[in-house]
Amino acid sequence: MTFSPTERTVAWAGFKSLGILDYESGQTNTFPISRTLGFCNPSFSPDGRELAFGGPTNIMILDMATRTPRPFAAIDNAVLSLAFSPNGSLLASAHDGGAVTLWDRASGSPITNILAHPPFAVGVEFSRDGRLLASGGADGTGKLWEVIPRGLQLRYTLRGHLGFMNLVFFARRLPRCFRQHQ
């Protein structure tokens, strides 16, 4: 599930549908989707005007004002998680197969596609300043990537976990250990 940054709205996706709930009015919208693999954690754009979610063959963008979906980018492997960068210029996706892809939001073109977490990547999230991307997967690792002009550069791999791993940023400022490495 994901909360809109601007409205009283929550969205989620499952095997058969994308759901949106206005938790002030109680109004719910559902949109049919057909997925062959699990779930996709959708993501609101920073301005709340769009919602990205994974369909069976495309990453889709839903216009929140009109509730109209449109294809953003064709995909070969199911998307399990999506995240917009804080300025909205990038979209990151985690895929079945283990890839983490960074997309140019304006063109819909991939900037980089890295095999990060075979057999599948389960989560991606940008830091609040957009300089870092965290990813986690079924390989039991979490990875911290620096977002650079040509894509992603691996900074750290967190090992020693069993099963799935997902990462969440919680600090407004980078921890001291990251500031020392710059």
The larger pLDDT score, comparing residue 165 to residue 12, is at 12
- Please give the Cα distance from 137 to 155 (Å, whole number): 16
Mean pLDDT check: name the lowest of 106-115, 134-143, 170-179: 170-179
Tokens of 56: 């069976």
The pTM of this model reads 0.87
**Averaged confidence pLDDT in the chain:** 87
Q: Is the pLDDT of residue 172 over 70?
A: no
Stretch 2-23: mean pLDDT: 90
**SS3 of the chain: helix, strand, coil, percent, to 5:** 5, 50, 45
Domains by residue range for the chain, with CATH = 2-180 (2.130.10.10)
